[in-house]
Amino acid sequence: MLQRCIAIGASAGGVEALQDLVSRLPADLPAPVFVVLHIPPYAASSLPAILSKAGPLTAVHPQDGAKIENGCIYVAPPDHHLLIENGSLAVRIGPKENRFRPSIDALFRSTAYIYGSRAIGVILSGALDDGTSGLWSIKRLGGITIVQEPGQACFESMPRSALDYVEVDHILPSLEIGSLLGRLINEQPGPAVSVASKLMMLMHKEGQIAAEDGAFQKGIMELGRLTPFTCPECKGVLVKIAEGKMSRFRCHTGHAYTDNALLEAVMESIGEMLWQVIRSFEEGVMLLNHMGKHLEDSGDDSRAEVFFNKARELEKRSSTFHADVLNHESLSGDNLGQQSTASS
């Protein structure tokens, strides 16, 4: 029978919180610890060395298929999901979730599916809301949920999102979470929770998608309601998946978004398209001037002026888009929430 496990998710400001947490873990911790921290895919990660130095446990970037051992901290490598498969770890390059790989939701969801009521999920400092859906899954299957006190986090959006949508068991400063985990890990887990077969099937399929891709072939389109929205990454159609009070989206190629992450991605896509329009206008202006100059050098001034006039016209139209792109906002639930707080 599986013992307990600890799954931790963090993003912006999360390194300091992780150091605080692992510094208070017991040296004889009778459980594995799984960690996802959002970092750029192109950056080398020194997080295992940092965490090994901060506390009594050894932290590593595991290889795909590594056996799970108690008292070890397994850190997701850059650009790889960290997932749990019976008795071993899957380190895979599956579709991004909430625009991240590794994804906290993917780790938490697979942890909930394998460990059930023996799972303990922890959300630390971070922006946006990756981890909320996965923490809901851990809670739904009877696991224990812990969130860093938002006011103590460097970035409070991830902790606040978890508190908004999940009935969290413990809310603590990061320095107190490690000691709490040391106590909880030795307590008897609650009984296994019976949930609808559709939820278990969805969790199983989403774990497979994160590990292997192939969402369409795995029937993801039948597990949600079709929406008018498209995936900002691949332009595939999105289905809406309801979880408690929240909803999220997944496309047929596998990319997944909360509504917050989807809004941010859509607004970023608009900004990119505006810059592409400006570039196209400017290329048109340069080409018209080039052709006009060629005619002018050939002595055909009247035809050259037609091209020069059209270039000036395009330049004026381009200036309108310049104003639009400078006024374009990178919207998300985070900054809209901050604006509403400031205005109240």
Q: Is 282 exposed, middle or buried (0-12, 13-18, 19+ CB in 10 A)?
A: middle
Residue 5 confidence (pLDDT): 97
Dihedrals φ, ψ of 6, to 5°? -125, 125
Q: Work out the number of other CB atoms within 10 angstroms of the CB of residue 297.
A: 9
Q: How confident is the model at residue 2 (pLDDT cuts 50, 70, 90)?
A: low
143, containing H or E segment:
none
Which span out of 264-268, 318-322, 333-337 was modeled with the highest average pLDDT? 264-268
Cα–Cα distance measured from residue 296 to residue 160, given in angstroms and rounded to the nearest whole number: 65
Task: Give 267-281 pLDDT, tens digit per residue.
Answer: 888 888 888 988 999
Between strands 33-37 and 58-60, the pairing is: unpaired
**Nearest CA among 65, 57, 63 for reference residue 33:** 57
Query: Which pTM was predicted?
Result: 0.86
- Which whole number is the average pLDDT over 244-252? 91
Residue whose entry in the numeric block shows the structure tokens 């460097």: 154
> Is residue 318 very low, low, confident or very high in pLDDT (cuts 50, 70, 90)?
confident
3-class secondary structure per residue, 119-142: EEEEECCCCCCCCHHHHHHHHHCC
Q: How high is the pLDDT of residue 275?
A: 85
Beta-strand relationship, 237-243 and 58-60: unpaired
22-42 in b/e form (b: 16+ CB < 10 A) is bbbbbeebebbbbbbbbbeee
pLDDT band at 242 (very low <50, low <70, confident <90, very high): very high
**Once rounded to an integer, what is the mean pLDDT over residues 154-176?**
97
- pLDDT of amino acid 223: 79
Q: Which residues are catalytic?
A: 11, 38, 130
Q: What is the pLDDT of residue 327?
A: 73
Q: What 3-state class would DSSP assign to 238?
A: strand
What pLDDT score was predicted for residue 338? 56
Question: Would the pLDDT of 340 be above 60?
Answer: no
Residue 205, classed as helix, strand or coil, is helix
pLDDT band at 337 (very low <50, low <70, confident <90, very high): low
More confident residue, 200 or 122: 122
Structure tokens at 6: 């600890």
Q: Kindly report each contact of residues 247-254 with a partner whose C-beta sits within 8 Å and lies 24 or more positions away, as own/partner.
A: 248/133, 249/224, 250/206, 250/209, 250/215, 250/220, 250/224, 251/215, 252/215, 252/216, 252/220, 252/221, 253/95, 253/213, 253/215, 253/216, 254/94, 254/95, 254/209, 254/210, 254/213, 254/214, 254/215, 254/220
Residue 336 confidence (pLDDT) above 70 = no
According to DSSP, residue 150 is labeled: G
**Which is nearest to 38 in space by CA: 138, 124, 117, 110?**
124
Question: How confident is the model over 46-55, as pLDDT tens digits?
Answer: 999 999 999 9
Q: Reply yes or no on whether the pLDDT at 332 is more than 60.
A: no
Among 10-14, 161-165, 224-228, 329-333, name the one with the lowest average pLDDT.
Answer: 329-333
Average pLDDT, the chain: 91
Task: Return the SS3 of 17.
Answer: helix
Predicted pLDDT at 3:
86
Residues 6+ away with beta carbon under 8 Å from 42 = 78
Confidence of residue 215 (pLDDT cuts 50, 70, 90): confident
Supply the Cα-derived Rg of the chain in whole angstroms: 25
